[in-house]
Amino acid sequence: MSVKYEVRDGIAILTLQNPPVNGLGLSTRRGLMESLQQGLDDAQVKAIVVTGGARAFSGGADIREFNTADVSREPILNTVITAFERSKKPTVAAIEGMALGGGLELALGMNYRVADQRALIGLPEVKLGILPGAGGTQRLPRAVGLEVALNMIVSGEPVAAGKLDDTKLFDLVVEKDALHAALLFAHEAAAAGTLPKVRDWKIKHTNAEGFLGFARTAVAAASANYPAPLKCVDAIEAAVKQPFDNGIEVERQAFALLINTPESKALRHGFFGERAASKIADIGADVPVREINRIGVIGAGTMGGGITMNFLNAGLPVTLLETKQEALDRGIATIRKNYENSAKKGKLTAEQVERRMGLITPTLSYDDLKQADLIIEAVFEEYKVKQAVFTQLDAIAKPGAILASNTSTLDVDRIAAFTKRPQDVLGTHFFSPANVMKLLEVVRGKQTAKDVLATVMQLSKKIGKTAVVSGVCDGFIGNRMIEQYGRQAGFLLDEGALPQQVDRAIEKFGFAMGPFRMGDLAGNDIGWAIRKRRAIEKPDMKYSKTADLLCELGRYGQKTGAGWYDYKPGDRTAYPSQQVNEMVVQHSKDIGVKRRDISDEEIVERLVYALVNEGAHILQEGIAAKASDIDVVYLAGYGFPIWRGGPMFYADSVGLYNVLAAMRRYAKGHEGKAWEPAPLLVQLAEAGKSFND
């Protein structure tokens, strides 16, 4: 039963029962309609209270219903809201936990609202490239005022109910037990006999025209690649200037337009892909998880310190190990500095800083890791170093402790073999800066136990990470693909492009940073070391020599003040380098390649399709379980434009037939062997299918 109906002292209580967040799916909508009618038909019922329990009033639409026929079956949410709005008995929303999206729109359709001050209130639809489609753009401005409503709707960010206490949205905001307060309020409302409707309220603003003009300009500047925010402004403007029913029609038309835009489809793909990433085919809800109460981290450098902060932020104690006191002190000082900088920005209180720092136990002894439930090493990327660490861990870690490597490229199965407990070993590839970046690649070894994987995937949510499972291969999902992207960037230099043109083209496409600016930020010497290893392991894999020539000049990037670009002291701006440009042109002559004009379109296609082709190999090999996992990796960790949905989704939108045709065209050019298409790509293209079918 999706809605529980009960009567308590003359008040009908309708409790939503659709975990985890009381999504408003078809059965819940039908349950609401039936229960509302039951309350209206019962002469003993004086008022009706709707609640979702302590965890959530409602998180809005039921995402499990998306892309099914149920999403548009009657009663749709608008029908339910209209029924509550027409009720002849007072209706009261008792809001705890959250009222988001359709959940807030449902509450706005009732006569009264009582909320716990901590409940999150919002209309996040814009984050999916759409706008509220059940009257939210019309009712919220009437309830909280024009400016507050516009900011909430255009940003999609939730607000604590307590911060809206001075608006007309809530009739009562309480510290606890909103349901109890709502029941008392319902008796008062029944005695008063009034049935206020938000739709009848007027929007008051001293200069609505001027504010809307300013808002439109600001929103346009901030949302160039997203049509939804401006459509939100259009709908809110209709709420101000037109009768309610006309405004509802403007909202409906805007929703119908936006739901079919490429941007909304891409954003929804990313949204569902992130949730699907946590679902692993052979690990069901029946797989138990191990208890994780204490963490060990080995290495207090940039990565180790950032990894440590993730667990401190979640309230988990960390024993941080280093080999030398100086390095340990430096690592602890950096963590404190990071927290104190957050405190200066008002993101943390001084008390919170000290509480988190108090969770760290610094040590120089492996013996202090004996009680850790999870130990993550963040040491140098060499097998000999990893072997030394895991051999010691195997000797001292308690039975059942999970041993994880933060390797970004190395073979996790080989690392697991350094222990007598390979079932307890897996990879946890954090992305730098580890305390900021959302992505976590969880690398599943051949012998990794199911409960170990399930535990780490669950823990990733606790520390605020977007976790994606990868199989074992060189570079896993993200770095394996980015290598092909980088190879094409180098070949483009050989053929006629310059670093700034390549970066400019891909950044215009929507990447946060082009390959050469990214190299300068990460350190060009890192790629140099990988290419040296490749020369031994994969001698047939060709690269442009320009990156090696750059490193031979000592131009490692921002850390040396010079890389593909020039940098000034204290200034991270990338200035085109005449020395580098001359080096690139000379190298083309040295290898006998006649330089040519290269279009931005070619640059984008070659960089993105290189990702796509390698992604197809990864899918075919089973390194990634599904195409959306690859997209999530690139959206969360590599700056791929969110509004394009990730490389595999983007390829689907272009059409795999067209992608393959372009690749075959590029295969006729310089270093054409790099364009050997993945068999899966050919198979899908010839069958007229897509990666996400």
Is a pLDDT exceeding 90 seen at residue 64? no
Q: pLDDT tens digit string along 128-145?
A: 999 999 999 999 999 999
Q: pLDDT tens digit string along 584-609?
A: 999 999 999 999 999 999 999 999 99
Does the predicted model carry a pTM greater than 0.85? yes
Q: pLDDT tens digit string along 629-640?
A: 999 999 999 999
Rounded to whole angstroms, the Cα distance separating 413 from 241 reads: 65
Which three-class secondary structure state does DSSP give residue 386?
helix
> Catalytic pick from 85, 125, 263, 322?
125
Peptide bond into 433 cis (omega under 30): yes
Q: Residue 390's pLDDT is what?
A: 98
Is a pLDDT exceeding 90 seen at residue 541? no
Q: pLDDT tens digit string along 499-511?
A: 999 999 999 999 9
Q: Residue 509's pLDDT is what?
A: 97
How sure is the predictor about 554, in pLDDT bands with cuts at 50, 70 and 90? very high
Where does the chain hold its CATH 1.10.1040.50 domain(s)? 478-687
**DSSP readout, 187-224?**
HHHHHHT----GGGPPPP-TTHHHHHHHHHHHHHHH-T
The residue length of the chain stands at: 693
> Catalytic pick from 65, 96, 105, 274?
105
Domain 3-258 has CATH 3.90.226.10: yes
With 0-12 / 13-18 / 19 or more C-beta atoms within 10 angstroms meaning exposed / middle / buried, residue 568 is exposed
Which three-class secondary structure state does DSSP give residue 341?
helix
Contact between 56 and 6 under an 8 Å Cβ cutoff? The reply is no
How sure is the predictor about 468, in pLDDT bands with cuts at 50, 70 and 90? very high
Q: Residue 132's pLDDT is what?
A: 96
Q: Residue 63's pLDDT is what?
A: 76
Contact between 609 and 663 under an 8 Å Cβ cutoff? The reply is yes
**What does each C-alpha distance from 214 to 2, 123, 150, 218, 219 come to in angstroms?**
44, 22, 12, 6, 9
| DSSP code of residue 176 | S
Closest-CA residue to 470 (of 435, 430, 522, 427): 427
Which residues make beta-bridge pairs with 159? 121
How sure is the predictor about 533, in pLDDT bands with cuts at 50, 70 and 90? confident
Element (H, E) at 394: helix 383-396
Q: Residue 1's pLDDT is what?
A: 77
Rounded to whole angstroms, the Cα distance separating 494 from 544 reads: 7
Helix ranges (H only) for 58-120 are: 77-85, 102-108
- The rounded Cα 15 to chain-centroid distance in angstroms is 31
125 is catalytic: yes
Domain 478-687 sits in CATH at 1.10.1040.50
How sure is the predictor about 54, in pLDDT bands with cuts at 50, 70 and 90? confident
Give the number of other CB atoms < 10 A from CB of residue 313: 17
How sure is the predictor about 693, in pLDDT bands with cuts at 50, 70 and 90? confident
Is a pLDDT exceeding 80 seen at residue 66? no
**Distance between terminal CA atoms of the chain?**
33
Rounded to whole angstroms, the Cα distance separating 4 from 299 reads: 53
Rounded to whole angstroms, the Cα distance separating 278 from 501 reads: 38
Read off the pLDDT of each residue in 35-39 and give the average, rounded to a whole number.
97
Q: pLDDT tens digit string along 261-288?
A: 999 999 999 999 999 999 999 999 899 9
Contact between 471 and 441 under an 8 Å Cβ cutoff? The reply is no
Read off the pLDDT of each residue in 670-682 and give the average, rounded to a whole number.
95
Q: Residue 301's pLDDT is what?
A: 93
Q: pLDDT tens digit string along 197-243?
A: 999 999 989 999 999 999 999 999 999 899 999 999 999 999 999 99
Where does the chain hold its CATH 3.40.50.720 domain(s)? 295-470
Percentage, residues of the chain above pLDDT 70: 100
Domain at 295-470, CATH class: alpha beta
Alpha-carbon radius of gyration of the chain: 28
**What does each C-alpha distance from 640 to 14, 187, 271, 404, 612 come to in angstroms?**
44, 54, 14, 27, 12
Q: Residue 245's pLDDT is what?
A: 97
Read off the pLDDT of each residue in 409-427 and give the average, rounded to a whole number.
97
Is a pLDDT exceeding 80 seen at residue 348? yes
Q: pLDDT tens digit string along 280-312?
A: 999 998 999 999 999 999 999 999 999 999 999
Where does the chain hold its CATH 3.90.226.10 domain(s)? 3-258
Is a pLDDT exceeding 90 seen at residue 578? yes
Q: Residue 481's pLDDT is what?
A: 97
Is a pLDDT exceeding 90 seen at residue 667? yes
Classify strands 565-568 and 571-576 as parallel, antiparallel or unpaired. Answer: antiparallel
> Considering the chain, what is the average pLDDT of its residues?
95
Longest CA–CA separation in the chain, Å = 93
Which residues make beta-bridge pairs with 99? 58, 121
